[in-house]
Copies of this chain bind each other. A is one copy, B any other.
Amino acid sequence: MTGNDPVYLRVVEELRAQIVDGTLPPGAPIPSRAQLTQRFRVGETAARHALRVLAAEGLIIGKVGSGHYVREKSVLYPLQRCRYVDHDAPFAADMQAGGHRATWDWRSETIKAMRDVARRLRLEEGDPVTRTRYVFRTEGKPMQLATSYEPADLGRGQSFPEEGTNGRKSLVARMSAVGIKITDIRESVHTRVPQPTESDLLDLPTGVHILHVERTHWSGDRPVETSDIVVPGDRFRLVYSVPLGA
């Protein structure tokens, strides 16, 4: 039966249908709360709730004092504003691509490994590791957080600015100086709700999820560096490109 489901869903479904079939094109104004209550013969709560749901789905945006509007397609499925992974160098990042210049802050320190980091680096909990925290900015806006961990005995004595945005070149160079050759990289990607510090640092509006990448550099079967990379989910695409050797 469709007769007894919530009335606000009726509003949501009708508006959503009109948006996806193009009756309400991008940029078009959505009927206001007052108009919806009249048109659908529902209370203000239902109208309001319907608008909130559609906004949460990313189909419309509310402009205070003006109204709700159908979101532009470009915002809905954004193009990659930052190319994250390059073609010639898989898993390297190049934030200059796309015409945007990136800047970043970073700070290194030596700490005791937490359980999670110890597991990922195959160390014991409490072993010393070098932690480097980065905040990457594009056009001044924070765009990516990264926290990198290396076993402290792999001699990142003095911490120096990274060359590539992700410091892969720098890492490879530093490692090869200690006789370690990085053989492969493993990444694990998932999405979750930002923690308060993250939404603070990345200046995230409510409702935006983040992409969390756990990246580990391996030398044979020995992990030599692991990092947590956090980017806003709505503005970012991770791009992987890998040749099929077989």
Write the residues of chain A forming the contact surface with B, with a CB cutoff of 8 angstroms. Answer: 13, 16-17, 20, 53, 56-59, 76-78, 80, 89-91, 182-193, 195-196, 206-207, 209-211, 233-234, 236-246
Contact = CB atoms under 8 A, between A and B. Distances in A.
Identical copies of this chain, number: 2
Given A185-B240, A188-B239, A190-B236, 19 more contacts: A17-B196, A20-B195, A56-B193, A56-B207, A78-B190, A89-B246, A91-B244, A182-B244, A185-B244, A186-B241, A187-B241, A188-B237, A188-B238, A189-B239, A191-B210, A191-B211, A209-B209, A240-B240, A245-B245
A113 B156 CA distance: 52
A112 to B, nearest CB: 17
Contacts of A187: 238-241
Contact of A206 (B53, B59, B243): B53
Nearest to A243: B184
B184 A242 contact: yes
Q: Considering the complex of A and B, which 7 residue pairs feature the smallest CB-CB distances, nearest first?
A: A191-B233, A191-B191, A189-B238, A184-B243, A187-B240, A57-B193, A186-B241
A243 to B, nearest CB: 4
Contacts of A20: 195-196
A13 B206 CA distance: 13
A241 to B, nearest CB: 5
A196 B16 contact: yes
Nearest to A236: B190
